[in-house]
Chain A
Amino acid sequence: MSRTFLITGLSVLLILCSTGVSMAQDEESFVRESIISKRDAVVLSVLFPGLGQMTAGQKVKGVSLFLAEAASLVLFVNAHEDYSTKVTTYDKDIAELDKIATIGGNRGRYSNAQEMFKDLQDQKNKLDDLNTIRNTAIIVAAGVYAFNIVDAIFFSSSTSESRRAEKTDKTRVNVSSTIIDRTPGIMLTKRF
């Protein structure tokens, strides 16, 4: 349930984000694009890695961070859910293993205990693997998050703002009325 909710949430976030990027690109190609302040970029980056970078114009870095964070979170949630399910069965089986000796009525057998112990060892190996995947995924997610925040605070906005300002100057189109050959008209001026 929670996995479905998270995956849906991440998908919606991804769609919104990509829509935002394409809208920004569309706007840029016509007249102007909105300038995002450094503070807003940081806030967006805090909300989810890559958002601040994307809106600040560093699309490749933003999308990379976003995808890296989303992928590691999905991997984490998947492994965690799997681990939680399997660890419940594992704990139950450990309790069962202890009960075999006292089950009574000649139903508890050494061979059953041996078989269950082997099965538990296999289960433990699988749980170890899942735990490793889970912890690696969360460490990667934390790393990406930390890098994203550091990048948003210290590097992204200053460079992006200057580049954006430069771009804005280049892309700005001035509209003015004029008379050419005694005919009134509209003049569009663009600086290169």
Chain B
Amino acid sequence: MKKMSIFLVPIILLMAIGYGCSKDHEAPTFSQYENVSEPTDVEATYLKDTDQFKITWSFDDPTDVINYLVSWSDSNLFDDGVTSDQYVIKDLQNEVLKNEIVLEANDVYKGMEYFELPDIDVFLVYFTVAAVFNNEDKGFSYFIGPRAVVDREGTYADSTAVVFKEEE
């Protein structure tokens, strides 16, 4: 009996340590963000006459969307480039949130810190659009959703500017 207790006590002690260590960590979940949707049919067009960019998109269910965020970069690896952005804000008088924005080309370049465009034929600008969600009940407070990239693009290689689809 004495031998058994001598034998069992340390074993029980080690088993207790082992049990304490077996308490596993929980796996991370992304469920909260899985149903956050992104804009679709994003299209960027260069308006040659006015030297502007027009970006349009669609959004299936804009109930929780309070703004849109249009961003642009000089790199196809978006975040690796020099980026800038602008919000499309809801018109408070008419309660309308437009699915388009027209940006001055110069503002776009300056946003990317190009105060003088490089001497090249084609200069690419990469646009993305994201919806800004605000619904406290669903746990979102001005949360910027996934970025949607431009679906269609064209190149304009005529002068100092620009890229994407030229308006016909």
Residue numbers of A with Cβ under 8 A of B are: 42, 46, 80, 87, 90-91, 94, 97-98, 100-111, 113-114, 117, 120-121, 124, 127, 131, 134-135, 138-139, 141-142, 145-146, 149-150, 153
CB atoms of B11 and A146 under 8 A apart: yes
B28 within 8 A of A: yes
Could you say which of B16-24, B45-53, B103-111 contacts chain A? B16-24
Residues of A within 8 A of B146 (CB): 110-111, 114
Secondary structure of the B contact surface, majority rule: mixed
- Size of B's binding interface in residues, CB under 8 A: 35
Given that A101-B140, A106-B132, A142-B18 are known contacts, is A46 also in contact with B10, CB under 8 Å in the complex?
A: yes
Residues of A within 8 A of B14 (CB): 138, 141-142, 145
Q: Which residues of B contact A (CB under 8 A)?
A: 3, 6-7, 10-11, 14-15, 17-18, 21-22, 24-28, 30, 32-33, 36, 67, 69, 79, 87, 130, 132, 139-147
For the complex, give the distance between the alpha carbons of A103 and B134 in Å: 11
Whether A105 touches B142, Cβ cut-off 8 Å, given contacts A138-B14, A141-B14, is: yes
Which single residue of chain B is at the shortest CB-CB distance from A80?
Answer: B21
How many Cβ-Cβ contacts under 8 Å join chain A to chain B? 96
> How far does the alpha carbon of A83 sit from the alpha carbon of B11 in the complex, in Å?
23
**Contact in complex: A110, B139 (CB < 8 Å):** no
Max count, chain B CB within 10 A of own CB: residue among A106, A107, A117: A106
A106 to B24, CA, bound (A): 35
Closest to A93 in B: B28
Closest chain B CB from A107 CB (angstroms): 8
Contact A97 B28 (CB under 8 A): yes
A133 to B: closest C-beta gap in Å: 10
Q: Is the CB of A117 within 8 A of B144?
A: no
**Complex: A106 Cα to B132 Cα, angstroms:** 8
Structural contact, B15 and A142, CB atoms closer than 8 A:
yes
* B102, chain A: closest CB distance, angstroms: 22
Assuming the contacts A87-B25, A146-B11, asked whether A108 and B143 have C-beta atoms less than 8 A apart, the reply is yes
Q: How far is the CB of A44 from chain B (nearest CB, A)?
A: 12
Chain A: minimal CB distance from B131 (Å): 9
* Chain A, residue nearest B130 (CB): A110
